[in-house]
Structure 1
Amino acid sequence: MSGGIGPCSDIHLPKEESTEEAGKPQRRRFFTFRQLNVLAVMIVLSASGMVSIEDLGFVLFSIIYLYFISEAAFPQTNPPWTGSVFGQTNRTLRLYMLTSAVIGLLFPLAYIFEGIVEGDKEGVKAAVPHLFLLGSQVFMEGVASKDRFSLPVRVFVPVSYNTKRIFTLAEWLRSEISKEQNRRLYVGRGLAVANMAFWCFNLFGFLVPVYLPKAFKIYYSNHKHNKD
């Protein structure tokens, strides 16, 4: 899985819009290739028995709540707003996206599956909730990117999932610190520290103070303009 990262959130899936390229219209797909990738990872992790009922319940709740707030609190504007919160992606932002994909997705995925192959399920069990929830976030952002959902509803996905993952990352870090010395100890501990630092910054340094205000400003400005 590639887990594309975009400027509107920490893990962002580009919108599957019907566009014309070389004179041929592209057909909208219900699920993107990225969504199918992370869905496969979610299923494998769930089947391993290392995903808790609480984490599965959180994903189910997020799906229900996504549709609830789209109807009750933040309906889509007419016409729907289809722009980008941060405009064109620059080199620094692209590097940030790549870093988040490598730290949050690729390295933990390799670490967990190596542990499963080597029969060290208990050793990687604490890392699974983060990867499962991050994969769920990627999947849910694909759902929220559909035209029926407004910008504040799309904001809900990265902010809520990033907040939930802070708690799972804290558990992962505590688990790594309490382990006995082994050859995988420093890899797991380094990944836990790196992810805790990165996603705390992403939530408190980017999503809440930067992305959230911009997104709501655009939504309410567009909503007011349509009313006028």
Structure 2
Amino acid sequence: MSGGVDMSLPKEEELLHEETCDPKQQQQHRGMKLGRKKPAVFLSFRHLIMLALMVIFSASGLVCAEDLAFVVLSIMYMYFLSRVAFPRLEGEEPTVFSQQNKLLQQYVLFAAVVGLFLPIAYILVGFFQDDQEGIKAASPHVFLLASQVFMEGVAWNDRFSTPIRVFVPVFYNSRRIFTLVEWLREEFAKEDKKPAALFIGRALAVINMALWSFNLFGFLLPVYLPKAFKRYYSLSKSKD
């Protein structure tokens, strides 16, 4: 959901302060960092909520076996890439985008509202109105987006490198394009619903298709991916 940006990263101001402190304080701070182990996995309350959504959708039967298999295979492939192609480099890998980027924060919030909260509300309304077609059409997108957010939390584990963190949103966003196409097809094939309900369902599907197509082809692939790989390989060369 975050488009490859985890908003729980350390602030750049804190990192700059560490670099500019006097030598004694810097040495003490480094000693503290070496003596303090990072947690194996950092999962916030937001990521745990996404895990709960994944379980709910899986248990409800609204998610097909192909999407469940996709999530399992993505986990396996992520670990495979982290061992074979993009191992974690020694030291702190630089982040691609600053946490203080206001425009990016607004973009992430907009994506969360349009891509997750509104579709969930649409599915809940569908339950009350017994709109099984609308529920089944929107559920795969919500399940995969919740899975993406959860896996982004896993990818920010200190055992994974920057390219692995890029892999998660690109991989999941690519898959969700196909589910959004199916959602659009189902919404525009309906004719027995009220005009207002038809408009809301179709508008929501169209907006999500436009948003996540831009996210993949206008942000992740041309902007985030090159920047992340450039930083990873530049750090890799400096270590050699």
Q: Which SS does the other structure have where 1:80 is aligned?
A: coil
1:92 alignment counterpart = 103
Which one of the candidate residues 203, 207, 210 is aligned to 2:220?
A: 207
Return the offset for 1:116. 2.0
Return the offset for 1:90. 2.6
2:117 alignment counterpart = 106
Return the offset for 1:147. 0.5
Q: Structure 1 stretch 112-121 or stretch 162-171: which is displaced more?
A: 112-121
- Runs of 4+ aligned residues of structure 1 deviating over 6 Å after TM superposition are none
Instruction: Give the partner amino acid of 2:163.
Output: P
Cα deviation per residue 1:42-90 (whole Å; 9 max; x = unaligned)? 1111122110000000000000001000000000000131x32022433
2:133 alignment counterpart = 122
- The question of 1:198 aligning with 2:198 is answered no
Q: Which SS does the other structure have where 1:147 is aligned?
A: coil
- The question of 1:12 aligning with 2:2 is answered no
Cα deviation per residue 1:139-172 (whole Å; 9 max; x = unaligned)? 0001000000000011000000000000000000
Q: Distance in 1 between matches of 2:188 and 2:234?
A: 48
TM-score by length of 1: 0.87
Structure number with higher helix proportion: 2
- What do you get for the CA RMSD once the two structures are aligned? 2.2
Relative distance call for 1:166 and 1:150 in structure 2 (3 A) is: same
Relative distance call for 1:206 and 1:224 in structure 2 (3 A) is: same
Q: Which SS does the other structure have where 1:12 is aligned?
A: coil
Instruction: Give the partner amino acid of 2:81.
Output: I
Which one of the candidate residues 38, 47, 56 is aligned to 2:50?
A: 38
Identity of aligned residues (%): 55
1:67 alignment counterpart = 79
8 Å Cα contact 2:9/2:99 also seen in 1: no
Return the offset for 1:200. 0.3
Ranges in structure 1 where 5+ consecutive residues have no aligned partner: 20-24
Relative distance call for 1:213 and 1:47 in structure 2 (3 A) is: same
Relative distance call for 1:14 and 1:30 in structure 2 (3 A) is: closer
Return the offset for 1:120. 2.1
**Whose Rg is larger?**
2
Q: Structure 1 stretch 194-203 or stretch 86-95: which is displaced more?
A: 86-95
Instruction: Give the partner amino acid of 2:152.
Output: E
TM-score by length of 2: 0.82
1:139 alignment counterpart = 150
Which one of the candidate residues 218, 222, 226 is aligned to 2:235?
A: 222
What is the count of residue pairs matched by the alignment? 213
8 Å Cα contact 2:38/2:158 also seen in 1: no
Which one of the candidate residues 66, 70, 94 is aligned to 1:58?
A: 70
Q: Which SS does the other structure have where 2:49 is aligned?
A: helix
Which one of the candidate residues 158, 163, 166 is aligned to 2:169?
A: 158
Q: Distance in 2 between matches of 1:10 and 1:31?
A: 15
Instruction: Give the partner amino acid of 2:211.
Output: F
Return the offset for 1:15. 4.8
Q: Distance in 2 between matches of 1:10 and 1:109?
A: 22
Q: Which SS does the other structure have where 1:31 is aligned?
A: coil
Q: Distance in 2 between matches of 1:117 and 1:26?
A: 49
Instruction: Give the partner amino acid of 2:90.
Output: N
Q: Distance in 1 between matches of 2:188 and 2:175?
A: 21
Q: Distance in 1 between matches of 2:182 and 2:111?
A: 20
Relative distance call for 1:98 and 1:207 in structure 2 (3 A) is: same
Q: Which SS does the other structure have where 2:63 is aligned?
A: coil
